[in-house]
């Protein structure tokens, strides 16, 4: 558990904010793996709530951590209103992240929908640092809902899908022609129906596939059992055994 200072909190409409944080005591950030998450403490009406938020980016040089927060109601709406200089309490890093090992030159596709794109930015940067050329397939309802597009473009090739056709290919990510190309692995994060559809494509074409589950979470520590998922090894807590799973571990 650590206190952080908000360096910047940039709102995108009423739906999202991008929060840049640095440890309040000036200590170095701990090592964080792509796909891991933090539990943010938010006080609303005198009650401390913890909200799980995935790690969007880490800059060890600047000693900053970035979170992309979707306004999903009580708790996260309080985060939207926080200002630079405010203090916030985080529990981190939590969970198990994506695997970043792959054969040299492997083609890797990072598929995100909605705010599910958040962990893929940091994952893409780590993969790029390890010598891969990650590609992104990003889906949203409209062009205005595509988050951090320029940052993704600075990391790798970006393919886009929108439901209304206002940018990229019209339809869901599974309609994008790049899915007919051969990839070594898909990494996927977004709404469950989207991840299940991507998992079905991966099974059909024999592509390795990791998904980051967005089960409801409270404690983040394996204590409250609200995040349980059925897997081939029985029921497990997504907060401690995940949130990232290979689809072969799931009963989808
Ligand atoms: Fe409490 Fe997983 S969130 S056990």
- Predicted confidence at residue 48, as pLDDT, reads 83
Q: Which residues contact 140 (CB under 8 A, 6 or more apart)?
A: 113, 114, 146, 147, 161, 162, 163
Task: Report the pocket of ligand 1 as residue ranges, CB < 6 Å.
Answer: 217-220, 222-227, 237, 239
From the CA of 225, give the closest atom in ligand 1: 4
- Closest atom of ligand 1 to 224 CA is 1
Question: Residues 147, 153: contact at Cβ < 8 Å?
Answer: no
CA of 147 to the centre of ligand 1 (A): 28
pLDDT at 114: 87
Q: Give the class (CATH, top level) of 213-252.
A: mainly beta
CA pair distance 149, 167, nearest whole angstrom:
11
Q: How far is the CA of 240 from the centre of ligand 1 (A)?
A: 8
Q: Give CA–CA dist 251/229, Å, rounded.
A: 9
Q: Which sign, positive or negative, has the C-alpha torsion 77, 80, 82, 87?
A: positive
pLDDT tens string 201-244: 999 999 999 999 999 998 899 999 999 999 999 999 999 999 99
For the segment 8-67, what is each residue's pLDDT rounded down to a tens digit?
A: 999 988 889 999 999 999 999 999 999 999 999 988 778 888 899 999 999 999 999 999
Q: Kindly tell me the burial class for residue 97, based on how many C-beta atoms sit within 10 Å of its own C-beta (0-12, 13-18, 19 or more).
A: buried
Q: List residues bridging with 41 in a β-sheet.
A: 50, 89
Strand-pair category, 2-12 with 47-59:
unpaired
Among the atoms of ligand 1, which is closest to the Cα of residue 228?
A: 2
Query: Which fold does the domain 2-94 belong to in CATH?
Result: Elongation Factor Tu (Ef-tu); domain 3 (2.40.30)
Residue 13's pLDDT is what?
80
Please report, for the chain, the start and end positions of each structural domain, with discontinuous segments joined by +. Answer: 2-94, 103-206, 213-252
The whole-angstrom separation of Cα 157 and Cα 135 is 5
CATH code of 103-206, in short, is 3.40.50.80
Q: How far is the CA of 238 from the centre of ligand 1 (A)?
A: 7
- How far is it, in rounded angstroms, from Cα 1 to Cα 19? 18
The minimum-distance atom of ligand 1 relative to the CA of 240 is: 2
Using one digit for the tens of pLDDT, what is the confidence trace for 146-161? Answer: 989 999 999 999 999 9
**How is the beta sheet containing 108-113 ordered, strand by strand?**
169-170, 157-162, 135-140, 108-113, 185-189, 208-212, 244-246
Q: What is the interface pTM, i.e. ipTM, of the complex?
A: 0.99
């Amino acid at each position: 558990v650590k206190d952080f200072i908000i360096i910047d909190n940039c709102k995108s409409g009423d739906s999202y904010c991008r929060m840049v944080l640095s440890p309040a005591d000036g200590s170095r950030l701990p090592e964080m793996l792509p796909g891991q998450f933090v539990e943010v403490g938010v006080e609303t009406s005198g009650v401390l709530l913890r909200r799980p938020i995935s790690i969007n980016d880490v800059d060890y040089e600047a000693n900053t951590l970035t979170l992309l927060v979707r306004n999903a109601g009580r708790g996260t709406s309080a985060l939207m209103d926080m200002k630079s200089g405010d203090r916030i309490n985080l529990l981190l890093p939590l969970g198990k992240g994506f695997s970043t090992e792959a054969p040299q030159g492997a083609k890797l596709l990072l598929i995100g929908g909605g705010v599910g794109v958040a962990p893929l930015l940091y994952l893409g940067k780590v993969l790029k640092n390890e010598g891969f050329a990650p590609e992104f397939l990003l889906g949203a309802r409209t062009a205005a809902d595509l988050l951090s597009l320029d940052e993704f473009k600075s990391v790798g090739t970006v393919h886009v899908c929108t439901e209304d056709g206002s940018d990229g290919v019209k339809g869901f990510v599974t309609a994008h022609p790049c899915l007919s190309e051969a990839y070594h692995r898909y990494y996927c994060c977004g709404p469950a129906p989207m991840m299940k559809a991507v998992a079905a494509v991966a099974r059909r074409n024999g592509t390795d596939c990791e998904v980051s589950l967005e089960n409801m979470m409270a404690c983040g520590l394996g204590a409250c059992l609200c995040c349980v998922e059925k897997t081939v090894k029985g029921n497990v807590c997504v907060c401690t055994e995940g949130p990232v799973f290979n689809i072969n571990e799931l009963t989808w």
